[in-house]
Amino acid sequence: MQIEYKKTADLIPYINNPRNNSDAIDAVASSIKNFGFKVPIVIDNQNEIVTGHTRLLAAKKLNMENVPVIIADDLTESQVKAYRLADNKVFEISEWNDELLPLELEELAELNFDMEEFNFSMEELNDDNYKTTWDKIKENNIDSNLLDTFVVAPFSILDTRQGKWSERDKMWKSIGIKSEIGRDENLTFSKSLSNKSLTGTSIFNPTLTEIIYRWFTPDSNAEIIDPFAGGSVRGVIAKILGHNYTGIELRDEQVEANYNNAQEMGLEGITWHNDDSLNVSKYVEDGTKDLLIACPPYFDLEVYSDKEQDISNMGWLGFEEVYTEIMRKTARKLKPNRFAVVVISDVRDKKTGMYHDLVGVTKEAMKKEGFGFYNDMILINNAGSAAITARGSMKNRKVRRCHQNVLVFYNGIHSDIKKHFPELKNIEDFDFGQETETE
Ligand SMILES: C[S@@+](CC[C@H](N)C(=O)[O-])C[C@H]1O[C@@H](n2cnc3c(N)ncnc32)[C@H](O)[C@@H]1O
């Protein structure tokens, strides 16, 4: 490979160069000024550039009369075309190592190298500790707008331990949701998975409820169906956000407690049917609902009652069959182009210690009703008691579970979702009191 020098003015940019690098010219010019022209421009034997358009522009900016080039006369015309694209593409594939890059930048800063000239932001290098994505979002104005619009960052990890999340939970709790009422004390929902941020209670996470409604309903007057209603939280929040909620719940004491809670809060028009959700068609017609939200029993993790139809007290095969049937029947209640959100967790078999595939069973049921699996999210909970028992569990190499799955399904064409769901707006002026009163 031979390096030659050519007059800068003689080099011809490729007319259809598909890469726009104008933002990089200053940084490349700085690099040439500081370190010399270390990577020659590649040209064909007509002086047309194959790769190195930005280097040429930077050289011109620095008034360089000659630049080093390599003549790629061993390539055919089509190879040149392909190389032009491939050379640019490989840069996209590689990524910075987030742990090593700050160390390198720090070292250079100590040696008085100004790396901002090359577009490295030294603010990111802030001090002592590794920063989580959440910290970065909080500090960055543009991204914090994400929180104004979406309540929490719309990423696949939903972290209930974050400050913003538990503040929001407390806000919901402060308006009087008592979702924990209606169960025997020993039936509190999945101790290791429950929401511990709300002192002494264990309810389905209100902020999770809020974001499911905000993100996956088509408008503020959506018809919501919930086949395993449990406590009042999902009905109450639906109402406050302006939706019509229908829940089905097998235990009469739970339904009664839910109505009492709604009444205490001055909320009317939330519907809880006291029945087996296999009978959902008694209450709801097919193709009429806008969102399915479900938090089914996680097999036998918590047994809710000794009722024959309670799927939490059936063996695995019974659970699998009836749960599938309920989900399929409820899925049919949705209109086309709608979401179904299922909060669930795989659960270990009490005897074998092996996981039952609740996530898989759910996906299969929804697939049979024509729903595609669209968003795969993980809800992270406080480690809580898991930290105490982890050492013992690890004797059998059993890793304690601190997450649940939030599965989102859709029954339409994904690229048309924006036609059916308007772009979400900021929720800055959301006020619990006001919205409750307007109901
Ligand atoms: C996981 S819990 C929901 C609890 C809810 N996530 C909460 O925190 O309030 C599931 C609910 O499904 C109910 N359930 C069980 N089998 C049912 C059935 N066949 N039809 C309707 N509800 C049922 C149980 O009574 C329980 O309240």
Which of 329, 331, 300 is CA-nearest to residue 316?
300
Which of 141, 232, 205 is CA-nearest to residue 381?
205
Up-side HSE of residue 226: CA atoms within 13 Å toward CB? 34
User: Positive or negative CA dihedral for 158, 290, 225, 408?
Assistant: negative
For the chain, give the percent of residues with pLDDT over 70.
Answer: 83
Residues 24, 60: contact at Cβ < 8 Å?
no
- Residue having the nearest C-alpha atom to atom 8 of ligand 1: 204
Which pLDDT score is estimated for 316? 97
Residue type, 356: H
d(CA 234, CA 222): 13
Which of 209, 303, 299, 202 is CA-nearest to residue 251?
303
> 170 C-alpha vs ligand 1 centroid, how far in Å?
24
- Strands 41-43 and 66-71: what pairing? parallel
Which pLDDT score is estimated for 385? 67
Q: What is the DSSP letter of 64?
A: -
Instruction: Give the model's confidence band at 424: pLDDT under 50 very low, under 70 low, under 90 confident, else very high.
Output: very high
d(CA 402, CA 399): 9
Which pLDDT score is estimated for 123? 60
Other C-beta atoms lying within 10 Å of the C-beta of residue 273: 18
> 294 C-alpha vs ligand 1 centroid, how far in Å?
9
- Residue having the nearest C-alpha atom to atom 24 of ligand 1: 304
Indicate if the pLDDT at residue 342 is higher than 80: yes
Write out the two tokens for 185: 């004390």
- Atom number of ligand 1 nearest to Cα 194: 8
Report the pLDDT averaged over residues 9-14: 92
Indicate if the pLDDT at residue 193 is higher than 50: no
- Is 386 exposed, middle or buried, given 0-12, 13-18 or 19+ CB atoms closer than 10 A? middle
> 296 C-alpha vs ligand 1 centroid, how far in Å?
6
d(CA 31, CA 228): 62
- Residue having the nearest C-alpha atom to atom 13 of ligand 1: 228
Write out the two tokens for 49: 């550039």
> 322 C-alpha vs ligand 1 centroid, how far in Å?
13
Average pLDDT of the chain?
A: 85
Range with lowest mean pLDDT among 319-328, 379-388, 426-435: 426-435
- Residue having the nearest C-alpha atom to atom 23 of ligand 1: 250
d(CA 377, CA 399): 20
- Residue having the nearest C-alpha atom to atom 16 of ligand 1: 310
Residues 30, 90: contact at Cβ < 8 Å?
no
Report the pLDDT averaged over residues 82-111: 73
Does 182 contact ligand 1 (Cβ within 6 A)? no
Instruction: Give the model's confidence band at 9: pLDDT under 50 very low, under 70 low, under 90 confident, else very high.
Output: very high
Indicate if the pLDDT at residue 62 is higher than 80: yes
Instruction: Give the model's confidence band at 86: pLDDT under 50 very low, under 70 low, under 90 confident, else very high.
Output: confident
Which pLDDT score is estimated for 431? 53
Does 299 contact ligand 1 (Cβ within 6 A)? no
- Atom number of ligand 1 nearest to Cα 204: 8
Report the pLDDT averaged over residues 432-436: 45
- Atom number of ligand 1 nearest to Cα 233: 9
> 229 C-alpha vs ligand 1 centroid, how far in Å?
6
Report the pLDDT averaged over residues 403-429: 91
Range with lowest mean pLDDT among 78-82, 229-233, 381-385: 381-385
Which pLDDT score is estimated for 281? 98
Residues 153, 147: contact at Cβ < 8 Å?
yes
Does 310 contact ligand 1 (Cβ within 6 A)? yes
Which of 37, 65, 62 is CA-nearest to residue 52?
37
Which pLDDT score is estimated for 325? 98
Report the pLDDT averaged over residues 75-81: 86
The predicted-structure confidence for 37-55, as pLDDT tens digits, reads as follows 999 999 998 999 999 999 9
Instruction: Give the model's confidence band at 195: pLDDT under 50 very low, under 70 low, under 90 confident, else very high.
Output: very low
> 246 C-alpha vs ligand 1 centroid, how far in Å?
14
Which of 279, 181, 186 is CA-nearest to residue 230?
181
The predicted-structure confidence for 114-163, as pLDDT tens digits, reads as follows 777 777 766 655 544 445 555 555 555 545 578 888 999 899 999 998 88
Does 309 contact ligand 1 (Cβ within 6 A)? yes
Does 253 contact ligand 1 (Cβ within 6 A)? no
Pocket test for ligand 1, best of 205, 256, 310, 405 (most atoms within 8 A of CB): 310
Does 247 contact ligand 1 (Cβ within 6 A)? no
- Residue having the nearest C-alpha atom to atom 27 of ligand 1: 230
Residues 301, 347: contact at Cβ < 8 Å?
yes
Indicate if the pLDDT at residue 227 is higher than 50: yes
Q: What is the number of residues in the chain?
A: 439
Range with lowest mean pLDDT among 16-20, 70-74, 356-360, 384-388: 384-388
- Residue having the nearest C-alpha atom to atom 18 of ligand 1: 276
Which pLDDT score is estimated for 135? 55
Indicate if the pLDDT at residue 251 is higher than 70: yes
Report the pLDDT averaged over residues 65-74: 92
Domains of the chain (ranges, CATH numbers): 3-93 (3.90.1530.10), 105-130 (no CATH), 136-438 (3.40.50.150)
Write out the two tokens for 140: 């960055």
Range with lowest mean pLDDT among 59-63, 121-125, 256-260, 413-417: 121-125
Which pLDDT score is estimated for 391? 87
Which pLDDT score is estimated for 182? 65
Which pLDDT score is estimated for 75? 87
Does 312 contact ligand 1 (Cβ within 6 A)? yes
- Atom number of ligand 1 nearest to Cα 189: 8
Instruction: Give the model's confidence band at 387: pLDDT under 50 very low, under 70 low, under 90 confident, else very high.
Output: confident
Does 250 contact ligand 1 (Cβ within 6 A)? yes
